[in-house]
Amino acid sequence: MKRVLFVIAGIGLLIGNIQAVTSPWPMFQHDLAHTGRSPYKGPSTNTLKWSYTINNAQCSPVIGSDTTIYFQSSDGYFCALTPNASLKWSYKAEGGFVGSSPAIGSDGTIYMGANNDTFYALNPNGSVKWSYGVGYWIQTSPTIGVDGTIYFGSGDKSFYALNPNGSLKWSYETGGSILSSPAIDSNGDIYFGSSDYKVYALTSDGSLKWSYTTEDIIMSSASIGSDGTIYIPSRDSRIYAFNSNGSLKWSYTTGAWIISSPSIALDGTIYIGSGDGKLYALNPNGSVKWSYLTGNNIWGSSSAIGSDGTIYIGSHDYKFHAINPNGSVKWSFQAGSFVESSPAIGPDGTVYIASQNKKLYAIGPGEGIEEQTNLDLGLWNAELKIGQNPFIGNTVISYSVIGYSGNKSTNNDYTNIRLTINDISGRAVKTLVDGEKEAGSYSVILNAKELKVGIYFVRMETVSYSETKKITVIR
């Protein structure tokens, strides 16, 4: 019976290069090819169904076959919610999870990595099925092959393939930490990037098929078109298109870093967000179809595509955007802070997205609790922004003290602010700011030489607000 199921899944993969998935959104960017394309139509309005408060919300959720929503956050919890926002269960991992997406197997097993150097398999009831230790943190979202093999990368520079029982199938060592999640084509070949600037293509047995060197680290994941073209961005501001043999078809340069991943529409249009604040729509030949300018950087959030072609993506402009296939605005939703999470679309048309204001939002059909048009930020009295991340040399940590009115330019209020660098155990290893600040904008330069290689958390605290952001020091 299992062999028959795998054959069916393989056929599903060959049709449009999408895995025959058994749940609405089982992994990062929906399917093996990471197209970001859903068989369901997303919401036509920005009606808020509910929001659920979580800590350090950088997560990109996935959806199980029973419509359970799964997500993890950097405070160490992995959670399962019902579609009406009731908590089914949560699992706490010592050392904490990171903000990557989990993946759901055909039997309902949930797979995810953590920054305690461990990869977990959880049963659908939240109990641990097995765990596998690696040499360093895991920030990549896993991908599950049609034969059940689980693929992921680690900060120890190795790419892993595990059997469904948790045993090691093989591993492949790259020249740098791996932040890119793997995509798999119809032949079972695996594509991902590394912080050694290279794109890697491996066969299903772990052999190197080819590699290509870009001009910066690769934090984004690959997506694979129906014709087998591999699309993968680099932090060198370019998105690259490769033939399956590794030859370069074309590259397109945006106006800033790219640390989001592409999605691919049914007509072959490639969508990619950039740090220049634009969502680009590219034709399969690399020419620009259109671009849509948001109000700030697009960092981390990768677009999801509904069955009607609507594109959903978050931005640092505090908004979650719905864009029509022609590049016009369908609607936007005020999310209260940066949106670095990637959305997931449920079978009832609900889209799930997290914001840095510590909330997971469900936006979709139904009466809802409110339809947002504007969000008063007057109760906030600080903002935190991180520059280059991960970083090798220096990075700039910027913060703004706003005060209770929310008016940065005229508010003369003072507030006490504390800005610290914390390790994964929560221990403060460096204090950057500790004292009273007048309303305004400030920045601090952090030198990577002051920290060991690894994951840290920048925590900002005021009398009425706190925010935490993950940073990664690499060499």
Segment 368-392 shows an average pLDDT of 58
Q: Which of 53-67, 141-155, 176-190, 261-275 is predicted with the least confidence, judged by mean pLDDT?
A: 53-67
Closest CA to 62 of 93, 22, 94, 33: 22
Residue 463 has pLDDT above 60, yes or no: no
Residue 406 confidence (pLDDT): 39
Give the N- to C-terminal CA distance of the chain in Å, as an integer: 47
Residue 100 confidence (pLDDT): 80
Residue 399 confidence (pLDDT): 85
Residue 372 confidence (pLDDT): 37
The tokens for 409 are 């330019």
Tokens 């690769």 correspond to what residue? 218
Residue 45 confidence (pLDDT): 95
Residue 145 has pLDDT above 50, yes or no: yes
Residue 382 confidence (pLDDT): 64
Segment 141-145 shows an average pLDDT of 96
More confident residue, 445 or 463: 445
pLDDT per residue as tens digits for the range 21-41: 679 999 999 999 999 999 999
Residue 17 confidence (pLDDT): 42
Closest CA to 223 of 278, 270, 159, 266: 270
pLDDT per residue as tens digits for the range 306-317: 999 999 999 999
pLDDT confidence of 1, banded at 50, 70, 90?
A: very low
pLDDT confidence of 436, banded at 50, 70, 90?
A: confident
Q: How many residues does the chain have?
A: 475
Peptide bond before residue 390 is cis, with ω within 30 degrees of 0:
yes
Residues 6 or more apart whose CB falls under 8 angstroms from that of 176 comprise 157, 194, 195, 196, 197, 198, 217, 474
pLDDT confidence of 425, banded at 50, 70, 90?
A: low
pLDDT per residue as tens digits for the range 110-131: 999 988 899 999 999 999 999 9
Q: Which of 180-194, 318-332, 351-365 is predicted with the least confidence, judged by mean pLDDT?
A: 351-365
Segment 211-240 shows an average pLDDT of 97
Lay out the sheet containing 103-104: strands in order across: 103-104, 110-113, 118-122, 128-133
Answer whether CATH 1.20.1420.20 is correct for domain 2-371. no
Residue 439 has pLDDT above 80, yes or no: no
Tokens 């029509």 correspond to what residue? 324
Residue 407 has pLDDT above 70, yes or no: no
Residue 98 confidence (pLDDT): 67
Residue 392 confidence (pLDDT): 85
Closest CA to 406 of 435, 442, 434, 375: 375
CATH code reported for the domain at 383-473:
2.60.40.1930
Backbone angles phi, psi at 159, to 5 degrees: -110, 130
More confident residue, 320 or 407: 320
Lay out the sheet containing 414-422: strands in order across: 428-438, 414-422, 454-461, 466-473
Going by their DSSP bridges, the two strands 103-104 and 110-113 should be labelled as antiparallel
CA dist 456 and 262 (Å) reads 27
Lay out the sheet containing 183-184: strands in order across: 183-184, 190-193, 198-202, 208-213
pLDDT per residue as tens digits for the range 77-86: 889 999 999 9
pLDDT confidence of 427, banded at 50, 70, 90?
A: confident
Residue 468 confidence (pLDDT): 76
Segment 341-358 shows an average pLDDT of 93
pLDDT per residue as tens digits for the range 164-179: 999 999 999 999 999 9
Segment 238-243 shows an average pLDDT of 98
Amino acid at 223: S
CA dist 375 and 5 (Å) reads 48
pLDDT confidence of 8, banded at 50, 70, 90?
A: very low
Residue 345 confidence (pLDDT): 98
Segment 309-330 shows an average pLDDT of 96
Return mean pLDDT, the chain.
86
Domain boundaries, the chain: 2-371, 383-473
> Is this model's pTM higher than 0.85 or not?
no
More confident residue, 98 or 433: 433
Residue 230 has pLDDT above 50, yes or no: yes
